[in-house]
Structure 1
């Protein structure tokens, strides 16, 4: 039996934080219905990769779900929502509170339908009245947190080009959902699970923020070079780039032996991680000189023998062909209608030994399961045909 088997989830989420949260729950057995706009939500078509226009991230964060289409602005659509909520355990909707209320998806409205419902509602900036209705995306969370300032260079800040804050918020929401379900077993009561991109970003940047609060160093960006230990940087071999990170004296000792500079171990400039970070430019130069005549494979093999964390800087194409990734068995290749090739869907990032997650089905087409979902809450074929004729579904 799956961990969340029997749990029913309504997913009104968009983009990543909401949909990926529900995908994680679905991987562990929850029944998830994605409620799409008639014609498909805007997040379905970002970075299109199929004949119908489904987007790359959409395929990843909407596996294991069924889809129905619904006009939430119509009274008949609202009635369908009420029926669905009455049969659900969890509602996921990563929208500002004002939008939730206008759609009747705020916690108070949902509780009137089902008192023990759990609402999972992430937004951009949190629930403080001054900021709760402002829109925001992953990059805004990164930038506000200070993370973008300390990436790149002083002349050119650089955000992560993958949505790290969105995905981390989804992980938090999934944890919050499971906690609320666990607590409900004891109390019999539902509650609202809150998260924000801003709070996630601040947590991810917390080390740099705490250091600044206590020491006031006002650090500038140093591209890929770490500020608090060294050598930690991206280095160029003859045929490609790789990253390595040396932290702590035992590892630094092994590194000095690897690069044939044992005298650096007792140099007072490099007595601890903080000092090594302050002199990181010099240590990166030593490392660059060591690897400039080595191939990427040779450099990585020597670093692995020295037990120093390192890895190639893969392009997306190289990542898909990487032997380490292949050996880790982390990619599920799935067929999708209209896709030119099989789609790589990436494994659930946390697993359980006895009740593991499972990626069972591809992301749904728009409204693919509308009829069967409506039939499940009491609509007959004639009523469903009428709803479709009136563009409610």
Structure 2
């Protein structure tokens, strides 16, 4: 394999985090070459045993988000432990003076406090709401409007999504913000105090995609449309052997090919005339989606999934068969993708783990396994602060730090 120097090689990040957004930020930076040191409370943060877990109770969730990071375990309630963390973040030569955290409200690791020790420190604090009060992905989403347009068209209640989309977006925004702050410091010599509320990530995204703008401009909210794709023609169909397909016709060519392959061109043209519609316009295809779907459904119901795939492959129609996570894992979606490589994760097992999805000169940048909580405590103190064995032993004895159990 060709050698590639990861773009963030030489950058060191200190992370105090839990759950999704902040750990995902650290993981993304680690995949791009940064050295990420996660500092956990003794015994682990609140998410260290989060589901899903192995039969032995080890968190698959936690290990996935903390791959490639070193782990140091410190008593954050003690003054000695807090002072130790502040030294690790700010001491010249120990690191790059960068802290990523979602543990807000701690004055001892605030930007102002750390800047007194290092003027060019970079801190990124992920908040729940912009006023600093707590919030998580699912409460942010509830307050935004998406649950009202998720689920069946005739459903009168709300439907929550299962993907923590705002956490994911926030984690990626956080990683980008850190690299932007490093670039800013390289140019100006100044640090940055970055705050990133999960609430604002969601609001910004909803605004950019028009969900909030259309209310302000048109005076109405977007309607629920079930499994249909809003604004274009896209819907799911069931085959003769009860396989389900998602079909999307973004363009006029896609739609023309869909009517051709389903043998409904003449019928669709007749409907178009009867309705006074123009099916070359995506808005009309969306507006009259129910009648169009009724015309196409019979063809799907009369053909097996194998025949459907064979027929659609010869068209421009965008389609995919619905698959479960188990279906994906059993297919070649992982084994044939160079982004996935075997990872031997202690306490979890060996599995195919994803590297960064961006390929740099054809290479996907990955990480090693996650260290156990406190697994690198001694090495971090030695390498970053020059602590001797006697000094480290004294800190262990006092309960200021902890090492991973054997």
TM-score (norm 2): 0.87
**d(CA) in 1 for partners of 2:260 and 2:164?**
38
**d(CA) in 2 for partners of 1:295 and 1:60?**
38
Superposition map of 1:19-30 within 5 A: 19-30=23-34
- SS of 2:112's equivalent in the other structure is helix
**d(CA) in 1 for partners of 2:95 and 2:269?**
61
Q: Aligned residue for 1:136?
A: 135
Superposition map of 1:1-393 within 5 A: 1-50=5-54, 53-86=57-90, 87-89=94-96, 90-96=98-104, 99-101=105-107, 104-126=108-130, 132-153=131-152, 154-205=155-206, 206-230=209-233, 232-237=234-239, 238-263=241-266, 264=268, 267=272, 268-269=276-277, 270-339=279-348, 341-353=349-361, 356-376=363-383, 377-393=385-401
Deviates more, 1:81-90 or 1:196-205: 196-205
User: Kindly tell me: are residues 144 and 349 of structure 1, through their superposed partners in 2, closer, same or farther at Cα, counting changes over 3 Å?
Assistant: farther
Asked if 1 retains the 8 angstrom alpha-carbon contact of 2:151 and 2:224, the reply is: yes
Asked if 2 retains the 8 angstrom alpha-carbon contact of 1:227 and 1:278, the reply is: no
Structure 1 or 2, whichever has the larger Rg, is: 2
Q: Aligned residue for 1:129?
A: none
- SS of 1:43's equivalent in the other structure is coil
Cα shift readout 1:313-371 (whole Å, capped 9, x = no counterpart): 211101112334543333233122222x42332221223217x4522310111111011
User: Kindly tell me: are residues 303 and 123 of structure 1, through their superposed partners in 2, closer, same or farther at Cα, counting changes over 3 Å?
Assistant: farther
**d(CA) in 2 for partners of 1:59 and 1:333?**
14
**d(CA) in 2 for partners of 1:24 and 1:17?**
11
**d(CA) in 2 for partners of 1:197 and 1:234?**
32
The gaps in structure 2 that reach 5 residues or longer are 402-406
Cα shift readout 1:178-198 (whole Å, capped 9, x = no counterpart): 111111111011102332222
Asked if 2 retains the 8 angstrom alpha-carbon contact of 1:334 and 1:343, the reply is: yes
Following superposition, the deviation at residue 15 of structure 1 comes to: 0.9
**d(CA) in 2 for partners of 1:57 and 1:275?**
44
User: Kindly tell me: are residues 287 and 363 of structure 1, through their superposed partners in 2, closer, same or farther at Cα, counting changes over 3 Å?
Assistant: farther
- SS of 2:10's equivalent in the other structure is coil
Asked if 1 retains the 8 angstrom alpha-carbon contact of 2:49 and 2:58, the reply is: yes
Following superposition, the deviation at residue 51 of structure 1 comes to: 6.1
**d(CA) in 2 for partners of 1:336 and 1:145?**
38
**d(CA) in 1 for partners of 2:147 and 2:218?**
20
Asked if 1 retains the 8 angstrom alpha-carbon contact of 2:253 and 2:316, the reply is: no
User: Kindly tell me: are residues 202 and 303 of structure 1, through their superposed partners in 2, closer, same or farther at Cα, counting changes over 3 Å?
Assistant: farther
**d(CA) in 2 for partners of 1:171 and 1:223?**
28
Deviates more, 1:252-261 or 1:217-226: 217-226
Deviates more, 1:278-287 or 1:108-117: 278-287
**d(CA) in 1 for partners of 2:352 and 2:163?**
17
**d(CA) in 2 for partners of 1:284 and 1:143?**
31
TM-score (norm 1): 0.90
Q: Aligned residue for 2:404?
A: none
